[in-house]
Chain A
């Protein structure tokens, strides 16, 4: 979601002689919170330019044609617009002047915040209406268009005997595409969203249909694994239109077991043991008391709640539950009746998502399972200090890492987001083995190897998107 553009912009801005005195972080602060007193006029102008044209996509041919127009291969006449729209399109974009036009994808739901440098007078694609889902009848696969809602995919897959293995750690009403050009945190116990993507159907910067990966089979051994390299930043290289997803068979018996913990040390130890649990765990969702209250207002929350989705045969599920109880030893309460955030009606899910979305999210923190309880305590204390009550949603991975999304009950203004992000980063630097990933965290990072990696990714973008169409980079 425009990470490379923001990163490139900051990299170039610090080289401007007038800004060379300003330390990098002060510049990022000024750009992020829009402190126009500090910024030169040209930079303010860049930040004010937004894409004036939004195209609601209905079919991929439209995107192909649009890209070919934007990269100069075809004229605007070929778009077949009405006279009024034609005039609007040309004047808004400034067609005829010697300038580049970019195209950007608008995420349906953003967990954190928008990019800093907007697409400069280009076109924004709205995929809300491009939301078809095609399930395979002879296997556990689906091809979901990027506008398809995750919840719809989840429910329809279940009706057809499939299981969508990945769930959004923060239960917002995300579309599938939000994981490709937004910040949707889809994951399961066994892997991240990318591990369930067999292929992406995309449009290249030259307006060609380009399939990355294979729709029916895994992508191993086919030259470089471009698919999994590109997925987190797919919208920087191509225009993703659909994702071929690997689903699983719906297990004969499923159960959501809810464990309440009041001791952070016992919680951490339980999660650490759970990482070594064999097959059968679909996802492990963790909430603190604040998050639990948002998800289940009627249930009195424990200090921490761990929900484990188990899937097994009808005869095997009892044994799995017993083994799980052993792994989670130290819990204060246990229930098999508490509803999980995902297996509810679409209306109820949306309603909860609306409440969840009111919180201020700063990004993702990877914490070793062993330190999760301690980390949660630190975030809570930081929230209290900042007059912004803190909470967290998290997801345990079998690798022993907990993917955590801290949130704060605070107004979503950019200054607050910046300050709270900084506070979370400070906690993360004091937590061994933890890592903070967010737009701001990436921009702040000045570790030489990280900068080298980012520079390689930027070169890759410039090679793949030689036409400078897909979220093109801009320099101040």
Chain B
């Protein structure tokens, strides 16, 4: 799973450290990639392995949330505002958020294109109240995933395999 973030170029070393710190805290196995975008911006794309054969695999999503929060703290921002990261919209744009919703409203008034993924979260359930959930709901879910990940007593088999190879 890859987490895409942009951070100020001057804070790239700090950002790399932070990515490794979050990865280790969440007991994940992964790596940090970065590249320079322009004279002010660096892209930080750390990735971690997700064991989707286990029920606990999804908790690795918490890494993306934590990395996004770290990018904000460093005056940068996470990239992408899909289903899982929609709650970042207001953090990103503050008072200008309504102007972004206006773009959607004008170009896609019937919400036919990628609906329910940028300004609100639609679920697959048709029942009122569950049809769409407020974006902060996703933030809570991912934060819970990160906490579960942290308290998980065992490491993923990827981590174990990697450590085994290293020792061998």
Q: Are B40 and A139 in contact (CB under 8 A)?
A: yes
> Is B96 engaged at the interface, CB distance under 8 Å to the other chain?
yes
Residues of chain A within 8 A (CB-CB) of B79 are: 220-222
For the complex, what is the distance from the CA of A216 to the CA of B73, rounded to whole Å?
A: 12
> Is B76 engaged at the interface, CB distance under 8 Å to the other chain?
yes
For the complex, what is the distance from the CA of A79 to the CA of B83, rounded to whole Å?
A: 44
For the complex, what is the distance from the CA of A91 to the CA of B105, rounded to whole Å?
A: 38
Q: Are A138 and B4 in contact (CB under 8 A)?
A: no
Task: Given the known inter-chain contacts A211-B96, A223-B81, please indicate yes or no for A463 contacting B105, CB distance below 8 A.
Answer: yes
How far, in Å, is B153 (CB) from chain A's closest CB?
Answer: 36
Residues of chain A within 8 A (CB-CB) of B100 are: 223-224, 226
For the complex, what is the distance from the CA of A249 to the CA of B106, rounded to whole Å?
A: 40
> Is A198 engaged at the interface, CB distance under 8 Å to the other chain?
yes
Residue among B10, B37, B92, B99 having the largest count of chain A Cβ atoms under 10 Å:
B99
Q: A196-228: contact bitstring with B at CB < 8 Å (1 yes, 0 no)?
A: 001000101000111110111110111110100
For the complex, what is the distance from the CA of A248 to the CA of B41, rounded to whole Å?
A: 12
For the complex, what is the distance from the CA of A224 to the CA of B80, rounded to whole Å?
A: 10
Q: Are A211 and B94 in contact (CB under 8 A)?
A: yes
Number of interface residues of A (CB under 8 A): 35
Q: Are B40 and A246 in contact (CB under 8 A)?
A: yes
Number of interface residues of B (CB under 8 A): 34
For the complex, what is the distance from the CA of A92 to the CA of B32, rounded to whole Å?
A: 62
Q: Are B6 and A220 in contact (CB under 8 A)?
A: yes
> Is A318 engaged at the interface, CB distance under 8 Å to the other chain?
no
Q: Are B96 and A204 in contact (CB under 8 A)?
A: yes
> Is B75 engaged at the interface, CB distance under 8 Å to the other chain?
yes
For the complex, what is the distance from the CA of A249 to the CA of B77, rounded to whole Å?
A: 24
Residues of chain A within 8 A (CB-CB) of B92 are: 214, 222-223
Residue among A214, A217, A223, A247 having the largest count of chain B Cβ atoms under 10 Å:
A217
Q: Are B39 and A463 in contact (CB under 8 A)?
A: no
Q: Are A223 and B106 in contact (CB under 8 A)?
A: no
- Name the one of B37, B81, B94, B107 contacting A218, with C-beta atoms under 8 angstroms: B37
Residues of chain B within 8 A (CB-CB) of A140 are: 39-40
Q: B128-168: contact bitstring with A at CB < 8 Å (1 yes, 0 no)?
A: 00000000000000000000000000000000000000000
> Is A443 engaged at the interface, CB distance under 8 Å to the other chain?
no
Q: A232-268: contact bitstring with B at CB < 8 Å (1 yes, 0 no)?
A: 0000011000000011110000000000000000000
> Is A44 engaged at the interface, CB distance under 8 Å to the other chain?
no
For the complex, what is the distance from the CA of A464 to the CA of B102, rounded to whole Å?
A: 6
For the complex, what is the distance from the CA of A464 to the CA of B106, rounded to whole Å?
A: 10
Task: Given the known inter-chain contacts A140-B40, A229-B103, A246-B39, please indicate yes or no for A221 contacting B96, CB distance below 8 A.
Answer: no
Q: Are B7 and A204 in contact (CB under 8 A)?
A: no
Residues of chain B within 8 A (CB-CB) of A220 are: 6, 37, 79
Q: Are B106 and A214 in contact (CB under 8 A)?
A: no
> Is A141 engaged at the interface, CB distance under 8 Å to the other chain?
yes
Q: Are A139 and B103 in contact (CB under 8 A)?
A: no
Complex: chain A residue closest to B86, CB-CB? A223
For the complex, what is the distance from the CA of A224 to the CA of B9, rounded to whole Å?
A: 23
For the complex, what is the distance from the CA of A155 to the CA of B38, rounded to whole Å?
A: 22
Residues of chain B within 8 A (CB-CB) of A217 are: 6-8, 37, 40-41, 75-77
Which residues of B are interface residues toward A (Cβ below 8 A)?
4, 6-10, 37-41, 75-81, 89, 92-96, 98-100, 102-107, 118
Known: A211-B96, A220-B6. 9 other contacts (CB 8 A): A214-B6, A217-B77, A218-B38, A220-B37, A221-B81, A222-B79, A223-B81, A456-B107, A464-B99
16 contacts between A and B (CB under 8 A): A139-B9, A208-B95, A210-B94, A211-B96, A217-B76, A218-B38, A218-B40, A218-B41, A221-B79, A222-B93, A223-B81, A224-B103, A224-B104, A238-B99, A460-B103, A464-B98
